[in-house]
Amino acid sequence: MSHSTRRAALLGALALPALAGTARAETWPARPIRLIVPFAPGGAGDSAARAIAPRWGELLGQNIVVENRTGGSGTVGGAAVATAPHDGYTLLWDASSHIVNPSLLRGLSFDYATAFAPISLGVTFPQALSVKKDFPAGDLAAFVAAAKARPGTISVGTQGNATAGHIALVTFMRRAGVDLVHVPYRGGAEAARDLAAGTVDAAFCTVLSAGPIVDSGRARMLAVSTPGRVALRPDVPTLAELGFPGFDISEWNALFAPAGTPAPVIARLHATLVEALADAGVRERLARLAAIPVGSAPDAFATYVREGREQMGRLVREAGITAN
């Protein structure tokens, strides 16, 4: 074999792994994809995932199977994805606890900062401050006045410690200069149930959770936590327009893959998710959940996650927020 022939054979052999990798990327996905939701069935995040998955799967050419892996404030499902093969077949549909847990929980088996590849912010769920039907405050200004007149006596339920509702409540108290009693629940539905019963004076939970009891006349919604009004509740003002400029705290759900997932797979997951979020049928289903579709570029979302983790870390330390 001549020198040139041996050199050509060597170069061809070296190229085989790269070509095989390209072929695998081109044929992905070749089987159904698992979308791990680290929270209970029927909740906001689970409902949003199931509203998006059918159309998203059509665009990918494979079924997306939503699988609930609950426990540990989302860390059980997170661990399942963090340790999964980085081949694009196991994904994480996580919530805003993703940026709070690193500051709140110790002894985790994985590092949120390095275990995942952020792909896209999926949807946001506006928080709403609501009061029980007979609470003596017709608007937010009157609620603040009542809180200042009776510091440490007005109870406010949330979805639980370190949830978006809790973060919104802590932020509201600090900015309004009031002292409210936090009552954590195991979900927004439970907080809304007790608000309807009058067990707590108010609740900071999602518009989705508060909506039914507001519609039934058992509570009143004073304000929402988003920069703009919520389409499902156009008559409810924002905290920003009621004297708290820049107030923007929502629960969110977003897509992550295990770190090391190939860039072409990440790109296709992102493109198809954004296309699914733009679908009219998907948007209609999300609107019924009071969910706002987003869709963001992987780089921008990675920055959002990193900065959010730092901000939540400061807030957890300064406000003394604990997991219990």
- Give me the pLDDT at residue 179, please: 97
Residue 12's pLDDT is 40
pLDDT at 20 over 90: no
Mean pLDDT of 162-166: 88
pLDDT in tens, 196-227: 999 999 999 999 899 999 999 999 999 999 99
The answer to whether the beta carbons of residues 272 and 51 sit under 8 Å apart is no
pLDDT in tens, 87-137: 999 999 999 999 999 998 989 999 999 999 999 999 999 999 999 999 999
Cα 314 to Cα 63, 129, 141, 310, 311: the distances in Å are 40, 24, 28, 6, 5
Task: Tell me the pairing of strands 250-258 and 219-224.
Answer: unpaired
Buried b / exposed e along 151-175 (16+ C-beta atoms within 10 A): eeebbbbbbbbbbbbbbbbbbbbee
Residue 267: per-residue pLDDT: 97
pLDDT for the residue 162: 81
Q: What residue type is assigned to position 148 of the chain?
A: K
pLDDT of residue 124: 95
pLDDT tens, position by position, 36-92: 999 888 888 899 999 999 999 999 999 999 999 998 889 999 999 999 999 999 999
Question: Would you say 227 and 309 are in contact if contact means Cβ atoms under 8 Å apart?
Answer: no
- pLDDT of 26 reads 60
Work out whether the CA dihedral 190, 192, 193, 199 comes out positive or negative. positive
Question: What pLDDT score does 160 carry?
Answer: 84
The mean of the pLDDT values for the chain is 90
Beta-carbon neighbour count of residue 277 at 10 Å?
Answer: 20
For residues 16 and 46, the answer to whether their CB atoms sit within 8 Å is no
Examine the pLDDT at 236 and tell me if it is beyond 60.
yes
Per-residue confidence (pLDDT) for residue 240, from 0 to 100 = 97
The per-residue pLDDT for range 299-313, each reduced to its tens digit, is 999 999 999 999 989
- Structure confidence at residue 188 as a pLDDT band (50, 70, 90): confident
User: Measured in whole angstroms, how far is the alpha carbon of residue 205 from the centre of its chain?
Assistant: 14
**b/e burial code for range 38-47 (CB count within 10 A of at least 16 → b):** bbeeebbbbb
Q: Residue 282 pLDDT more than 70?
A: yes
pLDDT at 171 over 50: yes
Q: What is the mean pLDDT of residues 166-195?
A: 94
> In terms of Cα–Cα distance, which of 279, 278, 252, 257 is closest to 268?
257
Evaluate if pTM is beyond 0.85: no
What domains can be seen in the chain, in order of their start residue? 32-124+251-319 (3.40.190.150), 125-242 (3.40.190.10)
Per the document, the length of the chain is: 324
Q: Six-digit token pair at 314?
A: 């400061």
Cis before 136 (ω within 30): no
Which pLDDT belongs to residue 9? 41
* Model pLDDT, residue 252: 95
